[in-house]
Amino acid sequence: MKIPRFSRKTLCIPYAVFLIFFVIVPMLVILFYAFTDRNMHISFSNFIRFFSDPTKLSTIVYSLVIALITTVICLVIAFPVAYILAHSRMKKKFVILMLFVLPMWINFVLRVNALRELFNLFSSLDGLEGLANANYFKTVFGMVYDFLPFMILPLYTTMLKIDRSLYEASYDLGAGAVTTFVRITIPLSMPGVMSGVTMVFLPSMTNYVVSDMLGNAKVTIIGKFIYEYFGTDWHMGSMVALVLLIVVFVSTWLSGGFKSEENVRGTTL
């Protein structure tokens, strides 16, 4: 009797099925909808409508700018935190790391809601009335608050993996603290920076819950756009989704996220 043998390929089948039905097919559907009109005829009208509408284009730009600012602020805050945590000899540093990561475990909508209430409270104070209408500020603030852990964690794990003797070697060769930081710490932290940036930049372009709740619905980002179109016009919605896909693809490519070999080098050795 022949015993049926499980090969590794067999184990891949469930995932392959999942991939086909939930990734590839939907992509094709989006592609189909994006280039058809309401009568299901092939057409470029969505494409033309999108790129001839200044509000749509400006939304894309706004989304990019908000995402960019959020990412930069997250990076500026997270880098020193991760650096200090990774280098401290504190026995309790796990606790401090948890304090930064813990918010991730609390419901996201709840946190944003709480933040909105806080903003409302502050804007009722004398001298802070301007806060009520600082929609972009509040949106960015909320996004930084939400996505910071996603920046800290990969940075922290990458920095933790850097061999301490590399710093010693740098000092030994005559480099001071600043030179060592610029020439050793920063380059070797790049894999962490890259994954942190990806994990913050992409969601902050599409996560419209924050911009809706904190920006008084005055701040429209691209994710909101897609959501609204799918209520009325699937064809236009698909086109916006496609454009977003391309923007993400290009920005990832520009930041070198696809050069996986480069990233691995710093961490494996």
Partner 1 sequence: MAEHIIELQDVTKYFDDNLVIDHVSFYVNKGEFITFLGPSGCGKTTTLRMIAGFDLPTSGKILLNGEDISRLPPNKRPVNTVFQRYALFPHLNVFENIAFGLKCKRVENTYRNDKGEEYKKKEKLSKKEIREKVQKALALVDLEGFEKRSISTLSGGQQQRVAIARAIVNEPEILLLDEPLGALDLKMRKEMQIELKEMHKRLGITFIYVTHDQEEALTMSDTIVVMADGIVQQIGTPVKIYNEPANTFVADFIGESNIFNGTVVGEKKVKFCGKTFQCLDKFEPNEPVDVVVRPEDIQMCAPENGTLVGEVISVVFKGIHYEITAQVGKYELVISSTESREVGEKIGMNVSPDGIHLMKPKYTTNVFEGVITKHNTVKFADGEFECDVTQLYPGSHIDEEEYLITAQGEKIDLTDVAVRVEVGLNDIEISDDAEAGGTTGKIISIIYKGDHYRLIVRTEEEEEDFVFATDDLWNENDLVSVIIPKDKIKLSLKNTEEKKR
Q: Which residues of this protein are in contact with partner 1, per CB under 8 A?
A: 163, 165-166, 168-176, 179, 183-184, 187-188, 190, 265-266, 268-269
Residue written as token pair 């540093």: 93
Q: Closest distance between partner 1 and the C-beta of residue 90, in Å?
A: 14
- Nearer residue to partner 1 within complex by CB, 71 or 189: 189
- Nearer residue to partner 1 within complex by CB, 185 or 211: 185
Alpha-carbon span 85 to 93, nearest angstrom: 6
Nearest to 129 by CA among 138, 120, 142: 120
Q: Where does residue 226 rank: exposed (0-12), middle (13-18), buried (19+ CB within 10 A)?
A: buried
- Nearer residue to partner 1 within complex by CB, 159 or 205: 159
Q: Closest distance between partner 1 and the C-beta of residue 143, in Å?
A: 31
The answer to whether residues 210 and 192 touch, using CB atoms and an 8 Å cutoff, is: no
Write the CB contacts of 150 (distance below 8 Å, at least 6 apart in sequence).
74, 104, 196, 199, 200, 203
Q: Where does residue 209 rank: exposed (0-12), middle (13-18), buried (19+ CB within 10 A)?
A: middle
DSSP 106: S
- Nearer residue to partner 1 within complex by CB, 41 or 91: 91
What is the CB-side half-sphere exposure of residue 224 using CA atoms within 13 A? 18
Alpha-carbon span 182 to 63, nearest angstrom: 31
Q: Closest distance between partner 1 and the C-beta of residue 196, in Å?
A: 18
- Nearer residue to partner 1 within complex by CB, 129 or 168: 168
The answer to whether residues 160 and 86 touch, using CB atoms and an 8 Å cutoff, is: yes
- Nearer residue to partner 1 within complex by CB, 36 or 255: 255
- Nearer residue to partner 1 within complex by CB, 8 or 91: 91
Q: Closest distance between partner 1 and the C-beta of residue 84, in Å?
A: 20
Q: Closest distance between partner 1 and the C-beta of residue 198, in Å?
A: 20
The answer to whether residues 207 and 223 touch, using CB atoms and an 8 Å cutoff, is: yes
Q: Closest distance between partner 1 and the C-beta of residue 164, in Å?
A: 9
Alpha-carbon span 81 to 16, nearest angstrom: 40
**Encoded tokens for 160:** 């933790």
- Nearer residue to partner 1 within complex by CB, 130 or 174: 174
Q: Closest distance between partner 1 and the C-beta of residue 185, in Å?
A: 11
Q: Closest distance between partner 1 and the C-beta of residue 193, in Å?
A: 13
- Alpha helix (H) ranges present in 88-134? 93-101, 108-123
